[in-house]
Amino acid sequence: MEWILGIALVFIVIAGVWAIGAYNGLVKLRNLVQEAWHQIDTELQRRHDLIPNLVETVKGYAKHERETLEAVTAARTAAVAPGSSPAEQAQQENILTQALGKLFALAEAYPDLKANTNFLQLQTELTNTEDRVAAGRRFYNANVRDLNTRIETFPTSIIANMFKFVKAEYFETEDPAARQAPNVQF
Amino acid sequence: MLPIGFDMAGVLFPLFFIAVVGFMIFAAIRGYKAAQRRQAAIAALVAANGWRLVSEDPTRAELFASPPFGTGDSRRARSIIWGTIGDRPFETFAYSYETHTTDSKGHRSTTTHHFQVTWVPLTGPLATMRFTSDNAFLRAATKLGARDLNVESHEFNQRWKVWCEDERAGHGVLTPRMIERFLQPDLGGRGVVIEGPCLMTYTQGQSDLTDLSQTVGLLHEIADLIPPFLFEPGNDAPAGGSATR
């Protein structure tokens, strides 16, 4: 009888140690996902901060392109609105990316604007920031993938359900690095 | 019919011994001649391109910390060549180290492992990253908990095992275009390492350097695909690997 109790005790201890490990692993991953999201948020903030300067610079050369400039401003305002989920934020960022694409396309028609140092600098900074956002997105999504896989796979799913761990949302934006860089001569 | 008292083993053993020694001498001469041919080919290549050649440099054997460096003993770096291809610098050398095994009878055998190492400088230092072609040993190690950086491409994850000192920087390097580049067949069978301000590739065996320009070209292609922001100050990249240059 005693040996049965002994085996049961060993089993309970092993199961307890495993459960603690699984729980801590999930907490660690959840924190990593949150930290990665904050990093993206910082990079997005950096991106949003560059846009007013860009719009002002373009306005100086292309005043009558009001519609495009207003679209960029409106997309930026929507993107900086707080409290968005990753999926909502991604949608806003994609709209902003499209609006910025139109802004850079119209710059083609203004040689003075294309030669403006401030404009070129802002364009470079924006490209760099987009690369940072893309890198942050890949890191965030990799952590989301790890967390969601742990939540869904057995036996960690038992602990995840018990302690109400929920799957994280992916952040799916257009990756600028995926696009072939256009060969534009300024 | 053999005469009575004929010692078969007494005759065959010396014959076998002579045959073995003869084969070893033949193999040694053949190896020596092959090495001489290789040296001549390398010298001709260096002279034709205006590169520089040093026959041996012990410091080069400790240039990197990542495998295949830092393992075994009697590490040697030979035929060190440096120069430029298309105005872009490179360095290549033959690297070797020895490992030893002892069997149950106490016989010690030595194996020499040969590699051809080629590296190009990067704009600045990055966190160490190692790309190794997937194999059964690595797959088992990953299953046992060894870290492997996974990306959004299943094909890439199947083909490459990636170890990274800083996973955030690793995801920065692994852009979709970089992943696509690593899926090209010309990188098959190679190991690729980013360590400090160097991008290095190695292949097993001794090379006559006929594919050197292709190797340097692919290294520069990879270097060009690294997003520039990763080299900017304050980007959490360490101040270089443990390699001394």
Tell me the chain B residues in contact with residue A175 when contact means C-beta distances shorter than 8 Å.
Answer: 175-176
**Per-domain residue ranges of chain B:** 8-50, 51-231
For the cut 70, the answer to whether the pLDDT of residue A112 exceeds it is yes
Tell me the chain A residues in contact with residue B156 when contact means C-beta distances shorter than 8 Å.
Answer: none
pLDDT digits (tens, 9 = 90+) for B67-101: 899 888 899 998 899 999 988 999 999 999 999 98
For the cut 50, the answer to whether the pLDDT of residue A151 exceeds it is yes
The stretches of chain B forming alpha helices (DSSP H) are 8-49, 136-143, 154-159, 167-173, 176-182, 212-225
For the cut 60, the answer to whether the pLDDT of residue B236 exceeds it is no
Distance CA B214, CA B220 (A): 10
Which residues of A, range 12-51, sit inside 8 Å of B by Cβ? 36, 39
Tell me the chain B residues in contact with residue A134 when contact means C-beta distances shorter than 8 Å.
Answer: 175
Average pLDDT over all residues of chain A:
86
Task: Supply the angle between the helices A117-152 and A2-61 in degrees, to the nearest 10.
Answer: 160
Question: What is the mean pLDDT of the segment spanning A92-108?
Answer: 88
Q: Residue B119: what pLDDT?
A: 95
Q: Considering only alpha carbons, which residue of chain B is nearest residue A32?
A: B168
Question: What is the mean pLDDT of the segment spanning A33-48?
Answer: 91
Distance CA A55, CA A70 (A): 9
For the cut 80, the answer to whether the pLDDT of residue A111 exceeds it is yes
Neighbours of B57 (CB within 10 A): 14
Residue B241 binned pLDDT confidence (cut-offs 50, 70, 90): very low
Q: Residue A13: what pLDDT?
A: 94
A132 touches chain B (CB under 8 A): yes
Q: Do B177 and A139 touch (CB under 8 A)?
A: no
Q: Residue B142: what pLDDT?
A: 61
Say if residues B61 and B76 touch (Cβ distance below 8 Å): yes
| The three-state (H, E, C) secondary structure of A75-102, written as one string | HHHHHHCCCCCHHHHHHHHHHHHHHHHH
Distance CA B219, CA A160 (A): 44
Q: Considering only alpha carbons, which residue of chain A is nearest residue B167?
A: A139
Q: Do A132 and B229 touch (CB under 8 A)?
A: yes
For A126-141, b/e burial (b = at least 16 CB within 10 A) is: bebbbbbbbbbbbbbb
Average pLDDT over all residues of chain B:
84
Please provide residue B111's backbone torsions phi and psi, each rounded to the nearest 5 degrees.
-120, 130
For the cut 90, the answer to whether the pLDDT of residue A109 exceeds it is no
Top-confidence residue, B238 or A81: A81
Question: How many degrees, rounded to 5, is the angle at CA A160 between CA A155 and CA A164?
Answer: 155
Q: Residue B36: what pLDDT?
A: 80
| C-alpha R_g of chain A | 24
Q: Do A135 and B171 touch (CB under 8 A)?
A: yes
Q: Residue A167: what pLDDT?
A: 94
Provide the token pair at A100: 């910025």
For the cut 60, the answer to whether the pLDDT of residue A169 exceeds it is yes
Neighbours of B70 (CB within 10 A): 14
For the cut 80, the answer to whether the pLDDT of residue A135 exceeds it is yes
For tokens 């600098």, the residue is: A121
Provide the token pair at B211: 């594919």
Distance CA B206, CA B39 (A): 11
For the cut 70, the answer to whether the pLDDT of residue A49 exceeds it is yes
Say if residues B201 and B160 touch (Cβ distance below 8 Å): no
Residue A161 binned pLDDT confidence (cut-offs 50, 70, 90): very high
Tell me the chain B residues in contact with residue A132 when contact means C-beta distances shorter than 8 Å.
Answer: 172, 229
Provide the token pair at B23: 């084969």
Say if residues B191 and B205 touch (Cβ distance below 8 Å): no
Question: What is the mean pLDDT of the segment spanning A66-85?
Answer: 86
Which of the residue ranges A147-151, B170-174, B210-214 would you say has the lowest mean pLDDT?
B210-214
Kindly list the distances between the CA atom of residue A161 and the CA atoms of A166, B155, B222, in Å, as whole numbers in the listed order: 8, 32, 43
Question: What is the mean pLDDT of the segment spanning B108-133?
Answer: 92
Question: How many degrees, rounded to 5, is the angle at CA A43 between CA A93 and CA A143?
Answer: 85
B117 touches chain A (CB under 8 A): no
pLDDT digits (tens, 9 = 90+) for B19-57: 888 888 888 888 888 878 887 888 888 888 888 888 888
Partners of residue B83 on adjacent β-strands: B90
Report the percentage of chain B scoring pLDDT > 90. 36
pLDDT digits (tens, 9 = 90+) for B212-232: 889 999 999 999 999 988 988
Say if residues B110 and B100 touch (Cβ distance below 8 Å): yes
| The three-state (H, E, C) secondary structure of A142-180, written as one string | HHHHHHHHHHHCCCHHHHHHHCCCCCCCCCCCCCHHHCC
Q: Residue B243: what pLDDT?
A: 34
For the cut 80, the answer to whether the pLDDT of residue B137 exceeds it is no
| Complex ipTM value | 0.73
A138 touches chain B (CB under 8 A): yes
Q: Residue B136: what pLDDT?
A: 66
Residue B201 binned pLDDT confidence (cut-offs 50, 70, 90): very high
Q: Do B176 and A177 touch (CB under 8 A)?
A: yes
Q: Considering only alpha carbons, which residue of chain A is nearest residue B227?
A: A131
Residues 6+ apart with CB under 8 A from B172: A131, A132, A135, A138, A139, B227, B229, B230
Kindly list the distances between the CA atom of residue A45 and the CA atoms of A73, B204, B228, in Å, as whole numbers in the listed order: 14, 47, 20
Distance CA B82, CA B64 (A): 16
Partners of residue B201 on adjacent β-strands: B118, B192
Distance CA A59, CA A62 (A): 5
Which of the residue ranges A152-166, B81-95, B130-144, B148-162 would you say has the lowest mean pLDDT?
B130-144
Distance CA A145, CA A152 (A): 10
Q: Residue A182: what pLDDT?
A: 41
Q: Which CATH code, of 1.10.3470.10, 1.10.3720.10, 1.10.10.10, 1.20.1440.20, is assigned to A2-178?
A: 1.20.1440.20
Which residues of A, range 56-115, sit inside 8 Å of B by Cβ? none
Residue B103 binned pLDDT confidence (cut-offs 50, 70, 90): confident
Q: Considering only alpha carbons, which residue of chain A is nearest residue B175?
A: A177
